[in-house]
């Protein structure tokens, strides 16, 4: 004794706006945001802002890729923020420890 909803197929063949928006929606949103900023600030259309965005997002992207591999392989589940913080502390400690070997203040790097 099922209801009518139980007998409906869950995955209907053919075109679906919902499936289409799930697939290309994030790309369309990114294009809309880019066009909005280009309209508000015409200098945003140059390559300098894109290079700056790429430069600023690279550390988080590298950490996210590393954590993705760990999660996919079934290893431990660490948050990306913890991994970035641990890496920053390790680099700061190494720069402080090897300051004299580098020939000066580590902050000048």
pTM: 0.46
Per-residue pLDDT tens digits for 43-86: 888 889 889 988 988 888 887 787 777 777 777 666 667 777 78
Ordered by start, the domain boundaries in the chain are: 13-45, 58-109
Q: Which DSSP category does 98 fall into? A: T
């Amino acid at each position: 004794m099922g209801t009518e909803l139980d007998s409906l197929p869950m995955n209907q063949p053919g075109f679906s706006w919902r499936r289409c928006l799930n697939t290309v929606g994030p790309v369309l949103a990114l294009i809309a945001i880019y066009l909005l900023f280009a309209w508000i600030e015409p200098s945003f259309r140059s390559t300098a802002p894109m290079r700056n965005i790429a430069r600023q997002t690279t550390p988080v992207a590298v950490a996210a890729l590393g954590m993705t591999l760990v999660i996919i392989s079934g290893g431990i589940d660490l948050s990306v923020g913890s991994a970035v913080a641990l890496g920053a502390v390790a680099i700061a400690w190494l720069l402080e420890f090897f300051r004299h070997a580098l020939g000066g203040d580590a902050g000048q790097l």
